[in-house]
Amino acid sequence: MNGAGNKRRGRALRPRLEKALELLGSTDVLADIGCDHGYFSLAALRKGCCERIIAADISAPSLAKAERHAVESGLGSRISFRCGDGLSVLSPGEATAAVLLGMGGELIVSILDAAKGTAQGFERIVMQPMRGEAELRGYLIKSGYHIEDEAVVFDAGRYYQLIAARYAPEEANAFPEGWPDGYYQFGACSLEKRDELMLPMMRRYLAIMENKLERAGKSGSVPPSLVREAECTRKLMDLFEQTEE
């Protein structure tokens, strides 16, 4: 197979991005916000997840690479490239779904909050925060978004949480009995479907919290927030194991 053939077939996606494709399902026009070099956009088209894509990035050099990859793949005619910040590149209703992958949860919150009219019109938004999961999940729940699905992925030695949501203030987000009130670090959907990676992810998180608590105790000042993180994580681990019985 020559180089051109390899480019048309496409490069393999990271596991966290493959999972994002699964959560996305199918839609008409997908907005790939923060598209980087465009590999996810190309994979979404190849797998039939959408008919067309609006690929956006704040970095002009990254967007230029994405456009070049699209042309080389033969899919360039189905992608519109726009350089800009977050959802500002879109008009309300222009895209039917969106993905925001590989950025901080706080940044995703700021992007959604800065363009509420656009964000609330998507039939589905798939998000993969690199950190700030609690901040993102808390914002979604408090701002009228219904979390429809979640997933945990282990990729290159690290656990990632993915969230699929849509604006539906009339649909309450359900939490299992015993869930700590107002605790958003982990997802109720993942627990309810007993995602096999949720328990090891929580174990690792708890180990980190306990290590921080030990260091804080030696310094003579233990933040209540750390104590709550550890307590809530233990509670969810117990709840997860109870659902398996």
pLDDT tens for residues 215-243? 999 988 999 999 999 999 999 999 999 86
Burial degree of 61 (CB within 10 A; 0-12, 13-18, 19+): exposed
| 19 token code pair | 């999972």
Task: Quote the tokens at residue 230.
Answer: 């550890």
What the block records as the tokens of 43 is 């994979």
Count of beta carbons in the 10 Å neighbourhood of residue 178: 11
**Rounded CA separation 33/90 (Å):** 10
Residue 17 exposed, middle or buried by CB count within 10 Å (0-12, 13-18, 19+) = buried
Query: For residue range 15-40, what is the model confidence (pLDDT) as tens digits?
Result: 999 999 999 999 999 999 999 999 99
Question: How many Cβ atoms from other residues are within 10 Å of residue 32's Cβ?
Answer: 27
- The reported pTM is 0.93
Looking at the DSSP bridge assignments, the partners of residue 125 are 98, 165
Q: What is the pLDDT along the chain (245 residues), one digit of tens a residue?
A: 334 444 455 678 999 999 999 999 999 999 999 999 999 999 999 999 999 999 999 999 999 999 999 999 999 999 999 999 999 999 999 999 999 999 999 999 999 999 999 999 999 999 999 999 999 999 999 999 999 999 999 999 999 999 999 999 999 999 999 999 999 999 999 999 999 999 999 999 999 999 999 999 998 899 999 999 999 999 999 999 986 65
Q: How far is C-alpha 141 from the chain's CA centre?
A: 15
